[in-house]
Amino acid sequence: MSCRSLGGTGRVGSSTAAVLLRSEPGLDVALASRSEASFRSLVKKRPELAAARFVRCDIDDDADLSAALQGVDLVVHTAGYGSSAPVACCGISQDCTALLVTSSAPTAVTTNCFAAS
């Protein structure tokens, strides 16, 4: 079984991924983010996430999102732009959620989990 954590290098996404890695041995967890540098930095701070993979994904790009969802069973969506701009973050989250539902329809995704902070 495979899991894609959108916004996986952020606070909520990385914490969720850590719990999944610890509680579901054998689960293929990939943290999706725009920046591989943020993934590498995160793994240095949180070595328990070293078992996760990185997948590049810009949630504002339909093709990126569709590609990131290929072959995935579970999507954990925690992506956003942070609390410094709560109104913008809410809009991005809503847009991405709608796009996620649309993009996951033609893929193998069977479960979506949405979270926000």
Tell me which of 3.30.1540.10, 3.40.50.720, 3.30.930.10, 3.90.1150.10 is the CATH number of domain 2-114. Answer: 3.40.50.720
Q: Positive or negative, the Cα torsion across 23, 24, 27, 33? A: negative
pLDDT at 101 over 70: no
Q: What is the pLDDT of residues 18-37, one digit of tens each?
A: 999 999 989 999 999 999 99
End-to-end CA distance of the chain: 26
Check residues 91 and 44 and name the one with the higher pLDDT: 44
Whole-prediction pTM value?
0.77
pLDDT at 114 over 80: no
Percent of the chain topping pLDDT 70: 68
Residue 103: which pLDDT band, with cuts at 50, 70 and 90? low
User: What's the whole-number average pLDDT of the chain?
Assistant: 80
For residues 29 and 95, what is the distance between their CA atoms, to the nearest angstrom?
A: 24
